[in-house]
Chains A and B, each alone.
Chain A
C-alpha cells in the first residue's frame, strides 16, 4: 500500500475500504510450506483432507515470496534461527507469524545451549498456539484468531483514532 497506508482518518469511506481490504487479506492466507520439527506433522495433518485448511482459504505455498503467513512449527535452534529470519524477510508485506507449539513459543523443554528461547526473539509473532504438539483444531483456532486480528487492523486508517479525528 506504500504511501497510502495509515494516512487517513476514521470515517465511513476509509473504514469501509479497510474492511474490504482486510476481508480480502484474511480470506486468502497463504502459509509457507515450512515445518521444523514434530509440530510440522500436525500442521500437515491440518492442511490435509480430514481437517482441511483449504476451506478457510488457507493454502500452503512452496515459496516465501508467495506466502503471507509463516507457521513456525517446531523447535527453533540457534543454528536455524538465521534461516527463519531470512524466510520471514523474504515474505512480502503484509505478513503474519503463528508460533505453533511450546517450543516455538518459549523453547519448551529445550532450555539448553542450542535452542532459541522463544521465536519472538527472532521474528515478531502474531498468534501463539500452545500445545505439544497442538492438535489440528488448535492450529485452526490459531488461524481463526489471526483472521480476527487481521479484520480489526488498520490499513488506510491511522492507528491512533484521536489523531485521525484531528486530521
Chain B
C-alpha cells in the first residue's frame, strides 16, 4: 500500500502547517497546530475524494511536565472509503482549542468529556459543561497533578488532604464537603 490519497492531499493543501507523523496502529498520524485544526477537519470532511464523515473520538492527553502540556487527539473515519486517520493537536496551559462541533455534531459530547476530565476549553462550543462529574466538582480528575484517590471528604476518607499548592488553581472558599453533590445529612 502506497501513500494514501489523504496524505498527499493534506500536504498539498496545508503544506508545512500540518505535519505527517508517520503510521501507527493502522492509522496515519498528523500533527496540526490549534489554529488550523478546524480548517483541516472541515477540509477532510468536505473534500469529495476523502469524505471523513465520522468523528469517532476526541481524547485529551496530559503530558505533564512536558510543554506544551496538553494534547487533543481526533480520530476520524471515512465511512464510504473505510479510512481512518488521527490528528494530534498540542496545546499550552491553560488549554484552548477551537471547537469542531460545527464540522461534526457528535463532537459536542466528546469535547464536553475532554473539558470535564482535562479542563480543555473548546472555543465556540455551544454548551461546554461537565458531562461525567457533577457541576460543583472542582478540578479535572484526569490531569496528572490530580490525586488518584481524589481529595478527602466525608464520602472519601482515604483521599488526599487539600493543601495550598494542590488547590491553588481552584477557588479559595472551599470547605471539605464542597465537592459533594446535592444535599447531605
| Chain A contacts to B: CB under 8 angstroms | 78-79, 81-82, 85, 111-117, 121-122
Contact = CB atoms under 8 A, between A and B. Distances in A.
Q: Which DSSP category, helix, strand, loop or mixed, fits chain B's interface?
A: loop
A112 B155 contact: no
8 contacts: A78-B156, A78-B181, A112-B148, A112-B150, A113-B146, A114-B141, A114-B150, A117-B156
B182 interface: yes
A137 to B, nearest CB: 31
Most buried by A among B146, B147, B179, B180: B180
Nearest to B150: A113
A117 B157 contact: yes
A117 B158 contact: yes
Contacts of B141: 113-114
Contacts of B148: 112-113
A79 B155 contact: no
A39 B11 CA distance: 52
A111 B148 CA distance: 8
Given A79-B133, A81-B180, A114-B133, A121 B149 contact: no
Given A81-B155, A117-B156, A112 B181 contact: no
B30 interface: no
Contacts of A112: 148-150
A121 B156 CA distance: 9
B180 A78 contact: yes
Contacts of A111: 149, 158
Interface string B108-127: 00000000000000000000
Q: How large is the interface on B (under 10, 10 to 19, 20 to 34, 35 or more residues)?
A: 20 to 34
A114 B183 CA distance: 17
Contacts of B25: none
Nearest to B159: A113
A113 B147 contact: yes
B185 interface: yes
Contacts of B165: none
B161 to A, nearest CB: 14
B168 interface: no
B16 interface: no
In the A-B complex, the 7 residue pairs with the closest CB atoms: A113-B150, A82-B182, A116-B155, A79-B134, A113-B141, A121-B155, A78-B155
Contacts of B180: 78, 81
Interface in B151-185: 151, 154-159, 179-185
Given A81-B181, A117-B158, 8 more contacts: A85-B183, A111-B149, A112-B150, A113-B148, A113-B151, A113-B159, A117-B155, A121-B157
A42 B101 CA distance: 41
Contacts of B185: 85
B100 to A, nearest CB: 28
A85 B155 CA distance: 13
A80 to B, nearest CB: 9
Contacts of A85: 183-185
B44 to A, nearest CB: 35
B149 A113 contact: yes
A81 B156 CA distance: 12
